[in-house]
Amino acid sequence: MEHYSNLFKSAEEIQKEIEEIKDVLFKFDTDNAEIFNQQITEINDRTEIRQIAKVLNNSKELYNLIRL
């Protein structure tokens, strides 16, 4: 059910999630995958790693939703 509920997001909800993604990823070089990978591997805080993983998953889901 969780995946289907994402199909019915409002524009405001999508914009809010995009802002959250930007807030978390702004300090990383997301244009260069190699540098981004290096930056991520230097992080020792598990909470920060989980947060990054969450926003990356959200960005993938939003990308797929927006493509529809």
Q: What is the pLDDT, as a whole number, of residue 14?
A: 86
In tens, the pLDDT along 8-57 reads 778 888 889 999 999 999 999 999 999 999 999 999 999 999 999 999 99
Q: Can you give the three-state secondary structure of 3-68, one letter per residue?
A: HHHHHHCCHHHHHHHHHHHHHHHCCCCCCCHHHHHHHHHCCCCHHHHHHHHHHHHHHHHHHHHHHC
Of 52, 35, 55, 56, the residue nearest 44 (C-alpha): 52
Q: What is the pLDDT of residue 2?
A: 56
Cα 68 off chain centre by: 18
Q: What is the pLDDT of residue 6?
A: 56
